[in-house]
Structure 1
Amino acid sequence: MRPNTDSPAVAGSAAAGPMVSFDNVSKNWGENHVLKALNFEVRAGEKVSIIGPSGSGKTTILRILMTLETPTQGLVKVDGDVLWDVKAGDRPRETRQMRATRRKIGMVFQQFNLFPHMTALENIMEAPVQVLGMNKGEAKERAVELLNLVGLSKHMDHTPPQMSGGQQQRVAIARALAMRPKVLLFDEPTSALDPELIGEVLNVIRDLAHSTDMTMLMVTHEMRFAEEISDRVVMFDHGRAVESGPPAQIFKDPQEERTRTFLRAVLQH
């Protein structure tokens, strides 16, 4: 079940600059400062895991990249193109460039968000046909390839109620890949799964991380998994990046006391 890195269904990037950049990005909800003048970059092809306590701003980063949240201020670029450029007090509107840049990004959510009346195959075909204008024959061919990639070729005619949570999340991963994103985001992709189903989803993500040059950004509470698949781990707390470094440093020799405290708390369970 290892992806073919030359497959047209799994896109990567050879961009020279950062694939994702946050320049002085803040996000406030009233007096609640969720992100505080964040400066953050992800290189093309890099696999980055974001860890930290609940409410530290981790998921907000992903939601800003998906244009589900508007930053209060700051500049966000993806693959060299501006996604957000917000001056303090501005209320930016969606633009054609924003929509085009947003299409470079795919996201796998905590909840699977599949159409319950559609089969696995139809769920994967829907966005390429409706958003990219792809003909149904090509969309079906890609969907079949992706279902094989995530180990679900025998389930293509099943609807979500006929599948386990782990199978649904694997369909959701295939759906995100169907748009050929340059950046793939994961927002705690196993948090809604029963413990015995977590492994099958992590195996798919592991194969993608090890076998493709796709840029991946993952928010996770699976510390050992983050240690295994990441090029870099970033510790967040109170809207700031407290510490960033290779997994061996973060998990074996963290430099910041806040990182040490957090890891002691989560790794003892």
Structure 2
Amino acid sequence: MTDPIIKFDKVVKRFDTFTVINELDFEVQPGEKVTIIGPSGSGKSTVLRILMTLEPISEGVVYVDGDTLWHEKAGDGSLKPAGEAHLRKMREKMGMVFQQFNLFPHMTVRRNLTEAPTQVLGVSKAEAKERADDLLEMVGLTDQADKYPHQLSGGQQQRVGIARALAMRPKIMLFDEPTSALDPELVGEVLGVIRRLAEEHDLTMLLVTHEMNFARQISDRVCFFDRGKVLEQDKPEVLFTDPKEERTREFLKAVLEGN
């Protein structure tokens, strides 16, 4: 068994007096495709926001790619809160696709993809453009490279968002309900891109979604979150057809009957 690329060790996240992540132990192996499902408020998206350093943790330790995320080692070997330089270095290991597309409205599609690699990674403009054009081809948007975000459909904007995250060459891709802001007829085109990523690339992927059939198709493992913990996890064919926990059965019955 290889070392996990993501590890949460007794992680707690509180907002004032409300505990949204409750002593979470959770691991993801390199190259694994893991989907997190669960009711609203169960902590699903907070896990991704912690990994992207958007939400600090209250207790515990998070490890990413063999290094502590929210801590760094002090001179005596103990852990101290991480400084901004450490957080920035760790952030580069991950790409995130949000519910909202978050594209730069004043930049063309291509420049949305080249800006961070040149400014953050120091990639040459020529290499960044070549990388951007390859990624736009992958997500089926070569002919949209010189347009601006407002000229695209929601599905096209989200595909640009995926390409932009990939342009940073992350080891880990995080997807936070990437289709929830889309009209129903546009969902399929975004899920198709994510499915292709899962099938053709050796990326570690962590996905929060309400698309249960999609989770069943692309996941190596599905984790059911409830009250800030993993209540149950298994291969999708097991968890979706024969869940052990009554709470999981209730949730799946409600969600699948609602679709």
TM-score, with structure 2 as normaliser: 0.95
For 1:22 and 1:152, how far apart are their aligned partners in 2?
Answer: 36
For 1:268 and 1:164, how far apart are their aligned partners in 2?
Answer: 29
The equivalent position to 1:146 in structure 2, one of 135, 146, 151, is: 135
For 2:3 and 2:89, how far apart are their aligned partners in 1?
Answer: 19
The equivalent position to 1:104 in structure 2, one of 93, 97, 106, is: 93
Match of 1:68 in 2: 54
Q: Deviations for 1:219-243, whole angstroms, at most 9, x for unmatched residues?
A: 0000000000000000001111100
Is residue 50 of structure 1 aligned with residue 36 of structure 2? yes
For 1:118 and 1:98, how far apart are their aligned partners in 2?
Answer: 27
Match of 1:7 in 2: none
Q: Deviations for 1:111-170, whole angstroms, at most 9, x for unmatched residues?
A: 000011111100000110111111111100100000001000011011001000000000
Report the 3-state secondary structure (helix = DSSP H, G, I; strand = E; otherwise coil) of the residue aligned with 1:248.
Answer: helix
Q: Which amino acid aligns with 2:172?
A: V
Deviation, 1:97, is 2.6
Following TM superposition, where does structure 1 have runs of at least 4 consecutive aligned residues deviating by more than 2 angstroms? 90-98
Contact residue 4 and residue 65 of structure 2 kept, 8 A? yes
For 1:127 and 1:85, how far apart are their aligned partners in 2?
Answer: 25
Q: Provide the aligned C-alpha RMSD in A.
A: 1.5
Unaligned runs of 5+ in 1: 1-14
Contact residue 69 and residue 82 of structure 2 kept, 8 A? no
Q: Which amino acid aligns with 2:31?
A: G
The equivalent position to 1:195 in structure 2, one of 174, 178, 184, is: 184
Match of 2:76 in 1: none
Deviation, 1:70, is 0.2
Report the 3-state secondary structure (helix = DSSP H, G, I; strand = E; otherwise coil) of the residue aligned with 2:249.
Answer: helix
Query: Identity rate of aligned residues, in percent?
Result: 62
Contact residue 232 and residue 245 of structure 1 kept, 8 A? yes
Report the 3-state secondary structure (helix = DSSP H, G, I; strand = E; otherwise coil) of the residue aligned with 2:57.
Answer: coil
Q: Deviations for 1:38-70, whole angstroms, at most 9, x for unmatched residues?
A: 000000000000000011000000000000000
The equivalent position to 1:115 in structure 2, one of 101, 104, 119, is: 104
The equivalent position to 1:35 in structure 2, one of 21, 45, 58, is: 21
Match of 1:10 in 2: none
The equivalent position to 1:259 in structure 2, one of 241, 248, 251, is: 248
Q: Which amino acid aligns with 2:227?
A: H
Deviation, 1:85, is 3.5
The equivalent position to 2:6 in structure 1, one of 9, 20, 32, is: 20
Is residue 83 of structure 1 aligned with residue 69 of structure 2? yes
For 2:195 and 2:83, how far apart are their aligned partners in 1?
Answer: 34
Match of 1:137 in 2: 126
Q: Which amino acid aligns with 1:61?
A: V
Contact residue 227 and residue 248 of structure 1 kept, 8 A? yes
The equivalent position to 2:236 in structure 1, one of 239, 247, 251, is: 247
What is the total number of aligned residue pairs between the two structures?
A: 252
